[in-house]
Structure 1
């Protein structure tokens, strides 16, 4: 019983000590560049959300293993629909 309790406590401590990741997408910018470094760089892949437009992102991504995507966390200000009033007459 002691052995299994120690194993559970150790496993729980390992789960809590695992590194956590920060938010991937910066909500201040509408366009993100998804960079793939894969086997060549060994660094995996990441998002760079620092672009104000798709052409700006594409110019930076040119010649790299990267794509440009819209930021799903960018707040889009959609105007509210106007209420419709019925006319009598």
Structure 2
């Protein structure tokens, strides 16, 4: 009489009938690695020029936005924003005009 060890569920990977080819596993691993690498790359920062005081923020398809700070006046920005999904805003890095003195002039 010959005794054979019975395979347990933990030692038999094919017991549940799931057979995945090696190339499919490698492809899945490559896709997951690519997503991980691309998700960790920092996005390109937008740079604002401080010479122009008004910016135009345009919303694009998919939820992304583009900010262009190249307008000298609100009116020029409004003309560019016409018929777009956009708005004008102050340049956060723009040079503000000097504040007016709050004192009354001496008489």
TM-score category of the 2 structures, normalised to the smaller one: 0.5 to 0.7
Q: CA RMSD in A?
A: 2.9
Tell me: CA distance 1:62–1:75, structure 2 relative to 1, closer, same or farther (3 Å). same
Query: For 2:98, which of 71, 78, 82 is the aligned residue?
Result: 78
TM-score (structure 2 length as normaliser): 0.50
Q: How many residues align?
A: 66
Separation of aligned partners in 1, 2:100 and 2:79: 34
Residue equivalent to 1:3: none
Separation of aligned partners in 2, 1:49 and 1:76: 14
Q: Pick the structure with more helix per residue.
A: 1
Post-superposition offset of 1:79: 5.2
**Ranges in structure 1 where 5+ consecutive residues have no aligned partner:** 1-13, 84-89
Higher Cα Rg, which structure: 2
Residue equivalent to 1:9: none
Question: What is the SS of the residue equivalent to 1:38?
Answer: coil
TM-score (structure 1 length as normaliser): 0.58
Query: For 2:48, which of 25, 41, 44 is the aligned residue?
Result: 25
Q: Pick the structure with more strand per residue.
A: 1
Question: Superposition pairs for residues 39-50 of structure 1, below 5 Å?
Answer: 39=62, 44-50=64-70
Residue equivalent to 1:4: none
State the structure with bigger RCO (CA 8 A, min sep 6), 1 or 2.
1
Separation of aligned partners in 2, 1:59 and 1:80: 29
Post-superposition offset of 1:75: 1.1
